[in-house]
Amino acid sequence: MKALSLYQDNGTLIHRVDPISKLLYIAAAIFIPVVLTGFTAGLAMLGLSLMLLVLARVLRKVVPLIGFSMLVLISVVIIQGLFYAGNRQVMFALGGVHFYREGLLFSAAICVRVLNILCAFALLVLTTRPSDLIESLVRQGLSPHFGYVLSSVLQIIPQMTGTMETITDAQRSRGMETEGSLMVRLRAFLPLIGPVVMNSLVSTRERSLALEVRAFSSRAQKTFLNEERVSTSNRVIKIVLLAAMAAAVAWRVVS
């Protein structure tokens, strides 16, 4: 089992921003468009997230994620474009089927919102070491046990991939064909499931043993190897984000 993760160690400016600020950014990215309802706010936010992803040089990693969610989103666009309750004005017709303006606008808003959330989360996950995220949450008072559970959840996909690789190696080493055509790989997938689940259960138990002997449950005040990053720039980021959210609320109330 490998401690893989989605994290990309590019060492950019974005990587040095502390995890709490990034969490706050996610909150802002969700909150502001909701408060400001309209289309542009969401689009602007999405633009900002994409820009930050480019800055962090992780855009390439996001593309497959976006691609996958597109599959779902396109179906949303089609369904809403055709059947949205408020549909009045026909925008265009395709092979005799009418798409309505209201439905398309509505679904576009949904798309922007989903992509927006996706990119904001991607920014956190791809540029933050999971251990750093947990550590800063524990510093903020989160229980270490809960932190550990959270980190296991964050790492569940990379961990499963690691276990699958190990078991695949064990299987092909003993003559089971796992390489080649899609059919072969699909056929190899089924016999993987049982062992992966079993392996995960066993290693969870072993891991908790490893944690216990390293005093994980100790009630002593924990200390941290890595120094807390309390730079002014990080504080400024937080203040700006909070201010932006407050401004959005104020704008909404006033207008």
Partner 1 sequence: MKKIVVEGLKYRYPLTAELALNDVSFEIEKGEFIGIIGRNLAGKSTLCQALMGLVPHFYKGAYGGSVTVDGLNVAQTEICELARKVGLVFQNPFTQVSGSKMTVYEELAFGLENLGVPRAEMMPRIESAMALLGIERFGKRNPFDLSGGQMQRMAIASVIAMAPDIIVLDEPTSQLDPQGSEEVFQAIQALSRQGMTVIMVEHKMEKIARYSDRVMLLDHGRLVDFDTPERVFSRDDLAQYGIAAPIFARICQGLGIRTPQTGLYPMTLDDAYDQVVNWHE
Partner 2 sequence: MNKIEIRNLVFHYTAGEPILNDISLAFDARSTAIIGQNGAGKTTFVKLLKGLLKPVGGDVVINGINTSDATVAALARHIGLVFQNPNDQIFKNKVLDEVMFGPLNIGQSQDEARERADAALAMVGLAGRINDNPYDLSLSERKLISIASIVAMNTEIIIFDEPTIAQDFSGKEHIKAIIRDLVAQGKLVLTIIHDMDFVAETFERTLVFAQGRVLLDGSTREVFAEEEVLRQAHLEPPHVTQLAHRTGLPGTPLTVEEFVREKRAQGAMRPVTP
Judged by the rule CB under 8 A, the positions of this chain that interact with partner 1 are 1-3, 5, 7, 129-131, 134, 144, 148, 151, 162, 203, 206-207, 209-227
Which one of partner 1, partner 2, none interacts with residue 227, CB within 5 to 8 A by kind? partner 1
Which residues are CB-neighbours of 28 under 8 A, at least 6 positions away?
45, 241, 244, 245
Which residues are CB-neighbours of 112 under 8 A, at least 6 positions away?
33, 39, 42, 43, 46
Q: Binding to partner 2 by residue 180, rule CB under 8 A?
A: yes
Q: Binding to partner 2 by residue 209, rule CB under 8 A?
A: no
Task: In angstroms, give the least distance from the CB of 159 to partner 1.
Answer: 8
Which one of partner 2, partner 1, none interacts with residue 175, CB within 5 to 8 A by kind? partner 2
Length of the chain: 255
Q: Which of 143, 128, 154, 152 is nearest to 229 (CA)?
A: 128
> Distance (Å, rounded) from C-alpha 77 to C-alpha 70?
10
Q: Binding to partner 2 by residue 178, rule CB under 8 A?
A: yes
Task: In angstroms, give the least distance from the CB of 184 to partner 2.
Answer: 9
Task: In angstroms, give the least distance from the CB of 201 to partner 2.
Answer: 9
Q: Binding to partner 2 by residue 199, rule CB under 8 A?
A: yes
Which one of partner 2, partner 1, none interacts with residue 85, CB within 5 to 8 A by kind? none
Task: In angstroms, give the least distance from the CB of 216 to partner 1.
Answer: 5
Which one of partner 1, partner 2, none interacts with residue 181, CB within 5 to 8 A by kind? none
Q: Which of 45, 40, 62 is nearest to 123 (CA)?
A: 62
Q: Is 120 exposed, middle or buried (0-12, 13-18, 19+ CB in 10 A)?
A: buried
Contact at 8 Å (CB) between 133 and 24?
A: no
Nearer to partner 1 by Cβ, of 71 and 213: the residue is: 213
- Distances from the Cα of 62 to the Cα of 51, 67, 132, angstroms: 12, 8, 21
Tokens in use for 213? Answer: 């002997």
Which one of partner 2, partner 1, none interacts with residue 158, CB within 5 to 8 A by kind? none
Which one of partner 2, partner 1, none interacts with residue 172, CB within 5 to 8 A by kind? partner 2
Nearer to partner 2 by Cβ, of 98 and 207: the residue is: 207
Specify the amino acid at residue 197: V
Which one of partner 2, partner 1, none interacts with residue 170, CB within 5 to 8 A by kind? partner 2
Compute, in degrees rounded to 10, the torsion defined by CA atoms 227, 230, 231, 235: 160
Figure out which of the listed residues 98, 172, 185, 252 binds partner 2, where binding follows CB under 8 A. Answer: 172
Instruction: Give, as ranges, the residues between 21 and 80 that touch partner 2 (CB under 8 A).
Output: none
Q: Which of 72, 73, 77, 75 is nearest to 101 (CA)?
A: 77
Nearer to partner 1 by Cβ, of 149 and 184: the residue is: 149
